[in-house]
């Protein structure tokens, strides 16, 4: 019998270790690998689909020690800790290489220390690029968004979109499909994986893919409750951290595969697929720098420091 049973929660569709959403697979691989490395001392149960705990409540539950582990979109915690919005700052991260470099640079240490102080341990860094599905013309450059009703999905993205002349719309993620089908919403921005799982290709005429470069990168790490982590013996802690780090390559590959897959899916459904280039991403970043970045660094001293350190990481 396992000495420690850890509960891993996430909000994504559940599958098996070989098939399904890569974020669910990452959790399952993590569970299998820690069981193996700890000789069965650590067992982990996966709860997909927010079936254990509501999406937004996961972060706070981990901080309190009521939930062990979650693969959690970090900026979702932005209401509780505004600093976490750095995990989805438009234009701040534009390639996977740049995102993955964070961990080793000063920004990585600053973020890790900050989160540890708030009761969260980062086990595995996962970045995901996003794109735009639109029911009319493609939204590639900021000027394309003018006059359209767009669901940005985060405070920072909404600010950028509004400056670009779009009217932003707050639609819960499970209503995007219906809203786009009826036309209440013209376009939605989200991760490639979600663009696939929401089946927006059925209602979209164009897709802007983030495969090459994107202004939308979200940090979606596997995180753990520090209260629980600290109670484990050192060898078990080491197993968790090592396996987490080793799975980062899988996470990156999964995210990038979906960036390619989403284009295929939308193309097959007859949508026009466009790509972003560095120059266009630069245009978005310029808007973001004056709006979202400014708003973010004005929030707390830690936020300002994190943003400064993050913008030092070269693309």
Partner 1 sequence: MSHGPLPDRDDQANAAARTGLAAAIDRGLAILNSIIVVFAAIALIAACAILSYSVLSRALFKAANYWQDEAAVFLLVGATFMTAAYVQQNRGHIGIEAFVGLLSPLANRIRLWLVDAVTFLFCAFFAWKSWTLAHEAYVDGQVSNSMWSPPLAIPYSLMAFGMSLLCVQIIVQLALPFAGARRP
Partner 2 sequence: MSVFGIGLAYGIATLVVMFSGMPIAFALGAVAVVFMGIYMPAASLDTVTQNVYEEMASITLLSIPLFILKGAAIGKSRAGQDLYSALHAWLHRVPGGLGVANVFACALFAAMAGSSPATCSAIGSAGIPEMRKRGYSGGFAAGIIAAGGTLGILLPPSITMILFAVAAEKSLGRLFLAGIGPGLLLVSLFGAYAVIRFRQEYAAAEAIYKNGGPEATILARDEYTLAERFSVLPRVIPFVLLLTGVMIALYGGYATPSETAGLGGLLALALIAAIYSVWRPSDLAPIMKSTIRESTMLMMIIGMSLLYSYVMSYLHISQSVAESVVAMHLPRWGLLFTILVMVVVLGFFLPPVSIILMTAPIILPPLRAANFDIIWFGVVMTIVMEMGLIHPPVGLNIFVIRNVAPDIPLREVIWGTLPFVLLMMLAVLLLCFVPGISTALPDLVMGPDGSR
Binding site for partner 2 (CB under 8 A): 7, 13-16, 20-21, 45, 47-57, 60-61, 64-67, 171-172, 174-175, 177-179, 181-185, 197-199, 202-203, 227
Report the nearest approach of partner 1 to the CB of residue 277 (Å).
28
Q: Which among 79-87, 92-100, 210-218, 254-262 is the span making contact with partner 1, rule CB under 8 A? A: 79-87
Residue with Cβ nearer partner 1 (168 or 307)? 168
Q: Strands of 4-9's sheet, edge to edge? A: 42-47, 4-9, 69-71, 222-225, 120-124
Residue with Cβ nearer partner 2 (29 or 53)? 53
* Contact in structure between 236 and 42 (CB atoms under 8 Å): yes
* Contact in structure between 203 and 180 (CB atoms under 8 Å): yes
Report the nearest approach of partner 2 to the CB of residue 46 (Å).
9
Report the nearest approach of partner 1 to the CB of residue 154 (Å).
7
User: Is residue 314 at the binding interface for partner 1, with CB under 8 A as the rule?
Assistant: no
User: In terms of Cα–Cα distance, which of 69, 23, 58, 73 is closest to 218?
Assistant: 73
CA distance 155 to 260: 27
User: Is residue 89 at the binding interface for partner 1, with CB under 8 A as the rule?
Assistant: no
Q: How many residues bind partner 1 (CB under 8 A)?
A: 20
| Chosen residue from 82, 221, 251, 254 binding partner 1 by CB under 8 A | 82
> 293: which 2 tokens?
């970045």
Per the rule left: phi > 0, alpha: psi between -120 and 50, beta: everything else, 145 is alpha
CA distance 214 to 225: 31
Report the nearest approach of partner 2 to the CB of residue 196 (Å).
8
| Chosen residue from 51, 136, 170, 182 binding partner 1 by CB under 8 A | 170
Residue keyed to tokens 């979606």? 220
> 257: which 2 tokens?
């595969």
User: Is residue 79 at the binding interface for partner 1, with CB under 8 A as the rule?
Assistant: yes
User: Is residue 225 at the binding interface for partner 1, with CB under 8 A as the rule?
Assistant: no
User: In terms of Cα–Cα distance, which of 270, 273, 211, 257 is closest to 20?
Assistant: 257
Give the CA distances from residue 145 to residues 136, 137, 185, in Å, rounded to whole numbers and listed in that order. 11, 9, 12
Residue with Cβ nearer partner 2 (178 or 278)? 178
- Positions touching partner 1 (CB under 8 A) are 75-80, 82, 85, 147, 149, 154-155, 158-159, 162, 167-170, 184
């Amino acid at each position: 019998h396992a000495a420690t049973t850890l509960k891993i929660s996430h909000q994504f569709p559940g599958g098996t270790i070989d098939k399904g959403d890569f974020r669910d697979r990452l959790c399952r691989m993590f569970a299998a690998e820690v069981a193996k490395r700890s000789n069965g001392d650590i067992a982990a149960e996966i709860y997909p689909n927010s079936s254990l705990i509501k999406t937004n409540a996961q972060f706070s539950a981990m901080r309190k020690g009521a939930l062990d582990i979650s693969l959690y979109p970090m900026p979702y915690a932005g209401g509780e800790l505004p600093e976490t919005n750095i995990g989805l700052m438009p234009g701040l991260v534009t390639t996977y290489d740049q995102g993955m470099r964070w961990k080793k640079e000063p920004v990585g240490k600053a973020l890790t220390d900050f989160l540890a102080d708030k009761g969260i341990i980062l086990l595995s860094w996962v970045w995901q690029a996003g794109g735009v599905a639109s029911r009319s013309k493609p939204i590639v450059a900021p000027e394309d968004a003018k006059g359209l009703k767009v669901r940005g999905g985060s405070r920072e993205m909404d600010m950028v979109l509004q400056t670009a002349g779009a009217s932003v719309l707050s639609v819960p993620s499970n209503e995007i499909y219906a809203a786009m089908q009826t036309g209440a919403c013209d376009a939605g921005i989200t991760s490639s994986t979600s663009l696939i799982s929401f089946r927006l290709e059925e209602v979209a005429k164009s897709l802007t893919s983030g495969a090459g470069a994107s202004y939308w990168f979200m940090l979606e790490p596997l995180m753990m409750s520090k209260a629980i982590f600290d109670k484990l013996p050192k060898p078990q802690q080491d197993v968790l951290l090592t396996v987490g780090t080793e799975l980062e390559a899988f996470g990156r590959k999964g995210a990038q595969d979906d960036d390619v897959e989403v284009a295929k899916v939308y193309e097959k459904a007859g949508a026009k697929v466009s790509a972003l280039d560095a120059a266009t991403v630069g245009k978005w970043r310029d808007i973001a720098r004056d709006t979202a970045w400014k708003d973010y660094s004005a929030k707390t001293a830690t936020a300002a420091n994190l943003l400064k350190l993050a913008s030092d990481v070269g693309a």
